[in-house]
């Protein structure tokens, strides 16, 4: 049964009365924050936020994130329906349209990196990233994707579509491998911490040794089906692994991966340190050896990848299966 409020909001959408819809969103969110707290309020108002972010003119939709409506009325980076509201907005308008309008720095940064993933080169059209992550796709970032799958494809009334990428996708190109005895795990590596934060359903280990010894820590046995592949093939799956939660967008995952690669390029030292060096990361990707393997127990979404840096003698393995 459609309530009067739902009918009223639908009428406002059909008539394009976006200022009234924004006012309704702000009032509802602020009231919900006061009543049930920030997290539950964000969930309760996200569907209306999605409608505004998707369909409203950019001059108005960017105001979802402005605090000028009063305490609790503005969407934050974690507000999401089928995906983060800032990502919905970023898929609808170019950076040229959004840049003069966006205010809050965290939202502005994530929108910029979303536009980069979509294919825009912002290296000369936006303020530098605070961590040094480039505002254009490196060739190895762009190489492994199919067309139009780097960011969720959002629908006007809610919901989204996205390709389901897995690693390995099939057993084609893989063969029988006898893994060595696993090397001992190294603790306290910044790269390990950042990779572990990418997807809660994966386990991450670091070893001193080749990729095969890192894989041996997490593979289902020593006799497996596996093989080597370029990092460019693994990169899209790592990005998608970081977006399994609807509160996270592809820009979140890209930033996390650049942090991990930056730490890996610097030797993956103790926790701490910020910023990435683009030249060092590109050199790392060029020399990195990556290994993947098949697990008979894999579910719908899975990721099995070991990454070795021959320059440091360190390797990381990321493995897990996300049950639907």
Residue 29's pLDDT is 94
Q: Quote the longest CA-to-CA distance of the chain.
A: 67
Residue 271 clears pLDDT 80, i.e. is over it = no
Long-range contacts of 257-264 (CB under 8 A, 24+ apart): 257/198, 258/131, 258/133, 259/131, 259/194, 260/191, 260/194, 260/195, 260/198, 261/285, 262/131, 262/132, 263/189, 263/190, 263/191, 263/194, 264/191, 264/307, 264/309, 264/314, 264/316
Residue 3's pLDDT is 52
For the chain, list the domains and their CATH numbers: 4-161 (no CATH), 175-322 (3.40.1000)
Which of the pair, 164 or 30, is modelled with greater confidence? 30
Residue 272's pLDDT is 45
Residue 311's pLDDT is 95
C-alpha–C-alpha distance, residues 19 and 28, integer Å? 14
Nearest Cα to Cα of residue 166 among 206, 199, 133: 199
For 218-253, write each residue's pLDDT tens digit.
Answer: 999 999 999 999 999 999 999 999 998 899 999 999
Nearest Cα to Cα of residue 254 among 74, 79, 122: 122
Residue 309 clears pLDDT 80, i.e. is over it = yes
Which of the pair, 73 or 161, is modelled with greater confidence? 73
Please provide the size of the chain in residues.
Answer: 324
Strands (E), the chain: 153-154, 160-161, 175-178, 202-208, 223-229, 289-294, 301-309, 314-322
Residue 144's pLDDT is 86
Residue 324 clears pLDDT 60, i.e. is over it = no
- Band of residue 148 on the pLDDT scale cut at 50, 70, 90: low
Compute the average pLDDT of residues 187-198: 89
Residue 147 clears pLDDT 70, i.e. is over it = no
Residue 245's pLDDT is 87
The share of the chain scoring above pLDDT 70, in percent, equals 94
Compute the average pLDDT of residues 130-135: 95
Residue 81 clears pLDDT 50, i.e. is over it = yes
Is the whole-model pTM more than 0.85? yes
Residue 166 clears pLDDT 70, i.e. is over it = yes
- Band of residue 124 on the pLDDT scale cut at 50, 70, 90: confident
């Amino acid at each position: 049964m459609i309530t009067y409020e739902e009918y009223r909001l639908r009428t406002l959408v059909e008539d394009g009365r976006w200022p009234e819809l924004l006012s309704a969103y702000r009032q509802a969110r602020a009231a919900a924050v006061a009543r049930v707290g920030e997290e539950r309020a964000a969930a309760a108002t996200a569907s209306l936020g999605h409608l505004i972010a998707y369909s409203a003119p950019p001059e108005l939709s960017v105001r979802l994130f402005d605090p000028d409506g009063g305490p609790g009325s503005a969407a934050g980076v974690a507000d999401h329906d089928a995906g983060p509201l800032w990502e919905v907005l970023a898929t609808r308008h170019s950076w040229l349209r959004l840049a003069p309008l966006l205010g809050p720095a965290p939202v502005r940064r994530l929108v910029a990196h979303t536009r980069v993933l979509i294919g825009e080169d912002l290296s000369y059209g936006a303020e530098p990233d605070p961590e040094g992550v480039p505002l254009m796709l490196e060739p190895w970032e762009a190489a492994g994707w199919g067309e139009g799958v780097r960011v969720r494809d959002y629908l006007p009334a809610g919901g989204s579509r996205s390709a389901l990428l897995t690693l390995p996708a099939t057993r084609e190109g893989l063969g029988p491998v006898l893994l060595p005895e696993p090397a001992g795990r190294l603790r306290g590596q910044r790269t390990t911490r950042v990779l572990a934060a990418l997807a809660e359903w994966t386990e991450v280990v670091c070893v001193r040794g080749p990729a095969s010894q890192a894989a041996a820590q997490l593979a289902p046995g020593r006799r497996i089906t596996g093989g080597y592949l370029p990092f460019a093939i693994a990169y899209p799956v790592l990005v998608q692994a970081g977006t399994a939660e609807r509160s996270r967008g592809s820009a979140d995952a890209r930033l996390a991966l650049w942090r991990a690669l930056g730490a890996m390029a610097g030797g993956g030292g103790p926790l701490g340190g910020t910023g990435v060096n683009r030249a060092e990361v590109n050199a790392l990707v060029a020399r990195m050896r990556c290994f993947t393997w098949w697990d008979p127990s894999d579910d719908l979404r899975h990721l099995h990848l070991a990454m070795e840096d021959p320059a440091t003698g360190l390797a990381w393995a990321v493995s897990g299966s996300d049950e639907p």
